[in-house]
Structure 1
Amino acid sequence: MFRLRTILVAAAASLAVATGLIVSGPAPEAEAVPDTIPLTITNNSGRGEPVYIYNLGTELSSGQLGYADAEGTFHAWPAGANPPVPAPDASIEGPADGETLTIDMPKFSGRVYFSVGEKLHFALTPDGLVQPAIQNPDDPNRDILFNWSEYTLNDSGLWINSTQVDMFTAPYTVGVEQQSGEVLSTGELKPGGYSAVFDGVRDAGWGDLVHNGPDGEPLRVLSPGHGVSTGDVPADAMSDYIDRVWEHYSSNTMTVTPITHEPENQYAGTVEGDVMNFTDGSGEVVASFNKPDTDSVFGCHKDLAAPNDQVVGPLARTLCAGFNRTTLLDNPNQPDPDNSNFYQDENTNHYARVIHEQMVDGKAYAFAFDDVGNHESLVHDGDPAAAFMTLTPFD
């Protein structure tokens, strides 16, 4: 079976602005951002296999799902079927090791995939595109080395990030060139960081998250957000910490300021039974969360689901980040801005801890709401001249 995954128009950019994680000034005039910008892909991987590029997502002007070719021309997906039918080949031949390729990115909200050695398998249902779901052992992409970057390019600029929300695998960096010529980049691993992530996850006792390829070599590390459902992480991995948090705030108060540019909007959280209630300044209950389980924490869903509003969603995001970073017991004021306090508890998100430790700038998207407090591997510019992806060595 395939797992259906859709690309939403509300990607990192709109989420970040809505929750105050990116404080943006007035949007540029619409004509300031051209219809396409160049994306230069550099292959410094040190590997000799062919590389394939895919630019998939939502065309913002029409809301249609589809793909862009190397010239930035949009192609809507044809109708799908049940069972799923193969999607048209949207691949672009990528650069060989030591070479570069420049393609055009249209105003899109989506993903730039790259695969190494073999093309990816995509399919279509009546509801849209079926994308790779590597947590499924029957997924046809399970044994392919691939990764992706997420981006939104619109009239307010470019947001592009590296992501490890689903898995850690083929390393790469992303960047954006400003009109001044300065380049902002993120996602770079420390020397030896690729191997160190695999070793660190194993050392934490989460070695079952490591998936090997047909040659027996490590192919990827599955995120614990998927690992609970696959049995690769114990279903009670966070239970002890969750119990301690619930007990602590049965007699103490957590103060949450979820939107950085609205410091006057604070909420007080206390636990009654199996529910944590948050009240506003008037004492009115504005959000309630059932005691979460490990899956809710690692997936930032279920009991910690975050609707796209201005109160419950930001509170859920902050609470989930605090659980993953295990800062809720040591700091009653959330979110904790000091990343030296993160992942200090024995029961923590070791996957996120290890990945952040191995990043040159300390930033990563190791779980869904890793952008709380701007600790995510994302770059943004309101008037971008160009974008970059660099495939980096597997060391």
Structure 2
Amino acid sequence: MRTTRTLCTIAAATAVAAGVLVAPAQAAVPATIPLTIVNNSGRSGPVYIYDLGTNLATGQQGWADAGGGFHAWPAGGNPPTPAPDASIAGPGNGGSTTIRIPKFSGRVYFSYGQKLVFKLTTGGLVQPAVQNPSDPNRNILFNWSEYTLNDSGIWINSTQVDMFSAPYAVSVGSKTTGHLKAGGYTGFFNALKGQPGGWANLIQTAPDGSILRALSPGHGIETGALPNTVMSDYVNRVWTRYSSSTLTVTPFADQPNTKYFGRVSGNVMNFTNSAGQVVTSFQKPDANSIFGCFNLLDAPNDLVRGPISRTLCAGYNRATLLTSSNQPDLNAADFYVDTVSNQYARKIHAQMVDGKAYAFAFDDVGNFESLVNDGNPASATMTLDPFN
């Protein structure tokens, strides 16, 4: 399945885009730090916590127990075999639980009422993929945060790249992100239901009719909930404009003289450098490539194609490529104004207290992502928020 980028990739991409060098931590980051899960959800019943990821010291994939001890996954099989039970008892409503998280690049899952089902293949862990109607976690209410804890500190986010579901926020030190506005949970789903063009089809419900989540539009295309042509009108207008004019991309905030120039020729947008040499080319993207920032908008971890691609991806999702021929456009007032844009991302951002979200993979262009970090972390917090 297609999954969210790991946080170490996010952190690296953010630093590259901003032209920021991450300074060494002032003091050695401990092997584990406490993560407190606070349950303000208002929901009764059990909560289960999972800390899954890659051990940055060994490169092994596995899980951490409540004390931060690492356990490598055993060998999987084909068909997939059940994974060991990595669940940690979470807090009841109104309570809190503190676990220790090790130097990982991974995810902290939480589920309400039921444990999640994880299996192992010969290639490793099979994570929940609820766009698949046969996924065993399809009818479980759950969500996750991504984090990286390493020798340079912690990066932890509130992500909606794959789905919008159970609300939560993350904090390190005095920095917090991810809280919804009052009424924001219901407000998001009502707004999505009212958006013409099939966007309401992203919503998944439980057998009793209660809302579980909204799939990201990329996963919606996988399921047939959204057509892969949902962005075509906007792409066609971009193609028409830049067939006769130039799109200028300045991908690094601290390198204003590093510019790339895009012009459309047929089905390809070619980018040249200041010397007039073609450095990379992009085919006309479909909606799946735009929403996933992959495939025809692939972004390798380099200093040319990747930074150009992430800028284009943000411009397509936010529909700013026609508001300005100089990208990235970092004026939030320009975002999502066009009727053809990533309406899922638009409605998530509109409901966030700080306006920040990880509603698509490169929502960090211009620092509009819901990410907090600390170079010398003493602790972190995940708050399970109310649904109303």
Measured against the shorter chain, the TM-score band is over 0.9
1:1-395 pair list within 5 angstroms: 3=1, 10-17=8-15, 19-21=16-18, 23-28=20-25, 32-177=28-173, 183-205=174-196, 206-395=199-388
Give structure 1 stretches of 5+ with no counterpart: 178-182
Deviation at 1:262, TM superposition (A): 2.0
C-alpha contact (below 8 Å) 2:7/2:146 kept by paired residues = no
Q: CA deviation at 1:23?
A: 2.1
Using the alignment, how far apart are the partners of 1:26 and 1:187 within structure 2?
25
Aligned length: 386
Distance, in Å, in 1 between the alignment partners of 2:150 and 2:219 is 31
The letter for the 1-side match of 2:256 is P
State the 1:264 CA deviation: 1.9
Q: CA contact under 8 A between 2:36 and 2:380: conserved in structure 1?
A: yes
SS across alignment from 2:234 = helix
CA contact (8 A) 2:7 2:147 kept: no
Q: Is the 8 A contact 2:247 2:325 kept in 1?
A: yes
Shift of 1:5: 5.7
The Cα shift of 1:164 comes to: 0.4
* SS of equivalent residue, structure 1 residue 11: helix
With structure 2 as the length reference, what TM-score do the two structures score?
Answer: 0.97
Is the contact made by 1:277 and 1:285 (CA closer than 8 Å) also made in structure 2?
yes
**Secondary structure of 1:148's match?**
strand
Q: Structure 1 residues 22, 165: closer, same or farther in 2, change over 3 A?
A: farther
**Equivalent pair of 1:266/1:280 in contact (CA under 8 Å):** yes
Any idea what SS the aligned residue of 1:298 has? helix
Does the C-alpha gap of structure 1 residues 364 and 7 become closer, same or farther in structure 2, counting only changes over 3 Å?
Answer: closer
Tell me how far apart the structure 2 counterparts of residues 94 and 9 of structure 1 sit (CA, whole Å): 23
CA distance in 1, matches of 2:71, 2:2: 20
Using the alignment, how far apart are the partners of 1:21 and 1:58 within structure 2?
Answer: 26
Matched-pair contact (CA < 8 Å) for 1:187–1:364? yes
The SS at the match of 2:244 is coil
Q: Deviations over 1:6-54 (max 9, x none)?
A: 985843222322x33372442226x521111110100000000210000
Structure 2: state its 5+ residue gaps. Answer: none
Distance 1:134-1:58 versus aligned 2 partners, 3 A rule: same
Q: Evaluate the alpha carbon distance shift between residue 304 and residue 5 of structure 1 in structure 2; reply closer, same or farther with a 3 A threshold.
A: closer
When residues 15 and 268 of structure 1 are mapped into structure 2, their CA distance, relative to the original with a 3 A threshold, is same
* CA contact 2:87–2:115 (8 Å) conserved in 1: yes
Contact kept? 1:4, 1:130, Cα under 8 Å: no
Does structure 1 retain, via aligned residues, the 8 Å contact 2:77–2:121? yes
SS of residue paired to 1:164: coil
Moved over 3 A (4+): 3-11
2:185 is paired with a residue whose SS is helix
SS of 1:151's equivalent in the other structure is strand
Q: Distance in 1 between matches of 2:187 and 2:10?
A: 28
Contact 1:52 1:115 in 2 (8 A): yes
Once the two structures are superposed, residues 122-164 of structure 1 have per-residue CA deviations (whole angstroms, 9 ceiling, x without a partner) of: 0001110000001000000000000000000011111000000
State the alpha-carbon separation in 1 of the partners of residues 105 and 168 from structure 2.
20
Aligned partners of 2:290, 2:94: CA distance in 1, in Å?
41
The amino acid of 1:343's aligned partner reads: Y
Q: Deviations over 1:303-360 (max 9, x none)?
A: 1011111110111111011000000001111111111110000111100000000001
| Whole-angstrom CA distance in 2 between matches of 1:21 and 1:57 | 27
Amino acid in the other structure paired with 2:274: G
Distance of 1:351 and 1:65 partners within structure 2: 32
Contact 2:76 2:121 in 1 (8 A): yes
2:243 alignment partner, SS class: coil
Q: In structure 2, the residue corresponding to 1:113 is in which secondary structure? A: strand
Pick closer, same or farther for the CA change 1:335–1:7 going to 2, 3 Å.
Answer: closer
Q: TM-score w.r.t. structure 1 length?
A: 0.95
How many angstroms apart in 2 are the aligned matches of 1:307 and 1:375?
21
Q: 1:326 and 1:4 mapped to 2: Cα distance?
A: 23
